[in-house]
Amino acid sequence: MKKISLLITIGMIMIGGCASISPNKMKDNLKYYSVEDKETKPVVFILPGSGGGHGGRSYSWARWFSSLGIASVMIDSAKVRGRRQLFGINYGGDLSPALEVVSENSNIDSKHYAVIGFSRGGTAALESASYLKESQPKPDFIFSLYPGDKGLCPNSHEEPTKVLVFYGEKDSWGTYQGNRNACKRMANWHDNTTFYLLKNAKHGYDGTWNGKWNCCGGRTFENAHNKKALEKTRALIFEVISKKWKIEKNK
């Protein structure tokens, strides 16, 4: 039987503090990717990985959401802090000021939104509910791709938010310190969370960069695009948003 984990607070403390960013400061660090028509649309907030900024991966997701009639807002969590990268930074709190800014946009339905994040951004997405104001609406969905750190995978979201966590079975970062298994256990503790293990997929399987990188005492990790894993992820995301947001088909 699933249960709400008491490890949420512990995990958030260990991953690091989250400095408060004001809506006024956040306003200049949001990149909108909107649909062509002027009807009010649901929105997906995109959180970057620890490399900072938004490259081909974020824009690829934004284009895909746009093809479904969904707006996207990329949160530049590095630039708003005057940084180039986000290693060691907890930026789950960036959703709250971004949501406050976007709520003033009449073309966006900020009461119906999702958050997608990659790697450390996936962890930030999982933590983001803890920083929302009581007056702010909760997300309909959290899409967390290959998150976790130090063997922890904290989740601050409760019903009715639906949380989908995606991990590649060959993700070396997922193997390191048991991050992938931590996310799998977390999903077992939360009734609103589903964990998906993607066959043959490595870290960054949805991205455009293939290569190796070093971290954590000289350990080597690998990113590799995997078309099948990406298509599977998008199919699963489409399945849930099409029902909730009444999207008839993938255009």
Per-residue pLDDT reduced to its tens digit, 97-132:
999 999 999 889 999 999 999 999 999 999 999 999
Q: Give the pLDDT score at 35.
A: 74
CATH superfamily of 7-244: Alpha/Beta hydrolase fold, catalytic domain (3.40.50.1820)
pLDDT of residue 5: 41
Name the residue ranges covered by the structural domains of the chain.
7-244
Cα–Cα dist 66/220, whole Å: 35
Which residues in the chain come in under a pLDDT of 50? 1-17
- What global pTM score does this model have? 0.92
Residue 113 in contact with residue 42, Cβ under 8 Å? yes
pLDDT computed for residue 93 by the predictor: 97
Q: Which residue has the tokens 């746009």?
A: 66
